[in-house]
Amino acid sequence: MNNEDIQVQLVDQNDNPIGQMEKLQAHIEAKMHRAVSLLIMNSKGEWLLHQRAEDKYHSPNLWTNACCTHPLIGENYEVAIKRRLIEEMGIEIKGELKHELDFTYFAKLNDNLFEHEYDRLFSTICDQEPNPSPIEVKDWKYISYEELKKDIHNNPNNYTEWFKIIFSKISDKRK
């Protein structure tokens, strides 16, 4: 399936479905739609990040959380992120994920595209070695919270807009 074939669920501020739209069109028109994100920490407490592939139509080459996607129409958030984690990172999570929070955000991206998403964030602890798809992922790494905090502060343009928001919200929860 290419980006034009994927339909996203348009929603209001409370995650109530209000329609469907092709994914790319939703990013062009800045329509709020569902997204889901996953944080993975290993048993040492390090965060798994991946660098988006060069050919991604938005936010290429930027570092971001372990996995993020849009649920398919009728697909629940947890099923969607587990599916995409296998596709992107080659990691299969068997158990339940921890629901951290839901949030909405709006961000201008490259090439006159926008993110306007209702994002559900999950987390899990996992020590599986990633086997990423080169179509989706350029690189990956584990990084400590403190190193990540410093790098986001010093090099914010190296990270996706949604991951900077996620990191800020999770940092606030840690206080």
**Tally of helices (H runs) and strands (E runs) in the chain:** 4, 9
**DSSP 8-state class, residue 57:** S
Q: Which residue type, as a one-letter code, is found at position 166?
A: I
CA distances from 170 to 103, 144, 173 (A): 12, 14, 5
Domains and CATH numbers, the chain: 7-174 (3.90.79.10)
Structure tokens given for 154: 């010093």
Strand partners, 37: 68, 121
117 is catalytic: yes
Quick check: 71 and 34 in contact, CB under 8 A?
A: yes
Q: Which two tokens stand for residue 85?
A: 């984690």
Residue with tokens 């602890």: 125
Out of 115, 117, 126, 161, which one is annotated catalytic? 117
Largest interatomic CA distance in the chain = 42
Per-residue confidence of the chain (175 residues) as pLDDT tens digits? 455 589 999 999 999 999 999 999 999 999 999 999 999 999 999 999 999 999 988 889 999 999 999 999 999 999 999 999 999 999 999 888 999 999 999 999 877 899 999 999 999 999 999 999 999 999 999 999 999 999 999 999 999 999 999 999 998 766 5
Instruction: Given the residues 67, 68, 115, 126, select the one marked as catalytic.
Output: 68
Residue 12: exposure state from Cβ atoms within 10 A (0-12, 13-18, ≥19):
exposed
Cβ atoms within 10 Å of 136's Cβ, excluding its own: 16
**pTM of the predicted model over 0.85:** yes
**126 tagged catalytic:** no
Q: Which residue is listed with tokens 């996995």?
A: 67
Region class of 111: left (phi > 0), else alpha (psi between -120 and 50), else beta: left
